[in-house]
Amino acid sequence: MSEKMKFGELDKKLRIYETAHDFCVIPGIYIIARLDGRGFTRLTKKVCKFEAPFDERFRDFLIETTKHLMNCGFKITYGYTESDEISLLFDINENTFSRKLRKLNSVLAGEASAKFTNLVGRIACFDCRISQIPTKQLLVDYFRWRSEDAHRNALNSHCYWILRKDNYSKGEATSKLKGLSTADKNELLFKYGIHFNELPKWQKRGVGIYWKNYVKEGFDPVLKQEKCALRRKLKVDLELPMRDEYDRFILKIIESKKNNRD
């Protein structure tokens, strides 16, 4: 490098290697970010020893992480968490970082990792991927997909761990469940006294987090009178609706002018 080369010249010369492959989500396209825990099987089972197949502490850590992501500078209208993953639906008009994919992925993964690490007291890491969704129907389909995944995971997890607790080895439990239909798995749980339909909904359908309006009462010291103001806060929903009703629920959130305002 020449001793006479100035910082501005270096910056112009080398910045291109960072930005040459920048891609942005074009305006009018919906953004969904999905974050997954990296190495969470070891974290939950060996390091922190959370209860299997579901632990309310772990659920609450994911909820708090999701709420943090919805409050860390992005306009996010809906958060959803199940298993060790988080999905975030951005406001259609969100333009932070000019919608650059590398920035969205890196910042969200960093924020989630830092928040969860702080909550659990152990190093925890998330990865992040962005889906670019062109229509409202595909948004509905996306969250229906994740909801059905939660249901499938819950059934499989309860079956697997009921067998493990009955002294089946990892291999024996996996082999016994291989090829079983949904009805067979429900029957298996029933033999152990578990009615799958009666389990908590958050285990089977995940947890939704969304904005709700509320009235905050206050006092105006100038006018010397009570004054009410409209505020928003995050609602944690542990009893999400199912199937077609859930589709309508998601569509209502998408079409809400209060959530999709400029």
Per-residue pLDDT tens for 197-230? 999 999 999 999 999 988 877 777 777 777 777 7
pLDDT of residue 4: 61
How much is the mean pLDDT over the chain?
A: 92
Domain span holding position 97: 10-146+207-214+234-255
Q: Which long-range contacts (CB under 8 A, 24 or more apart) does 253-257 make?
A: 253/77, 253/78, 253/89, 253/210, 254/77, 254/89, 254/136, 254/139, 254/140, 255/136, 256/77
Model pLDDT for residues 58-108, shown as the tens digit of each residue: 999 999 999 999 999 999 999 999 999 999 999 999 999 999 999 999 999
Instruction: With a cut of 90, say whether residue 164 has pLDDT above it.
Output: yes
Q: What is the CATH number of the domain that holds 244?
A: 3.30.70.3000
Which residue did the predictor score with more confidence, 129 or 20?
Answer: 129
In a domain, 27, yes or no: yes
Cis peptide before 53 (omega within 30 of 0): yes
In a domain, 76, yes or no: yes
Instruction: With a cut of 50, say whether residue 135 has pLDDT above it.
Output: yes
Query: What's the structural domain count of the chain?
Result: 1
In a domain, 165, yes or no: no
% pLDDT > 70, the chain: 96
Instruction: With a cut of 90, say whether residue 233 has pLDDT above it.
Output: yes
% pLDDT > 90, the chain: 81
In a domain, 196, yes or no: no
In a domain, 223, yes or no: no
Q: Which of 176, 182, 178, 212 is nearest to 196 (CA)?
A: 182
The enclosing H or E element of 220 equals strand 207-220
In a domain, 186, yes or no: no
Instruction: With a cut of 80, say whether residue 111 has pLDDT above it.
Output: yes
CB 34 within 8 A of CB 145: no
Read off the pLDDT of each residue in 232-256 and give the average, rounded to a whole number: 95
In a domain, 156, yes or no: no
In a domain, 63, yes or no: yes
CA angle, residues 140, 145, 146, in degrees to nearest 5: 105
Residue 2 pLDDT grade (very low, low, confident, very high; cuts 50, 70, 90) = low
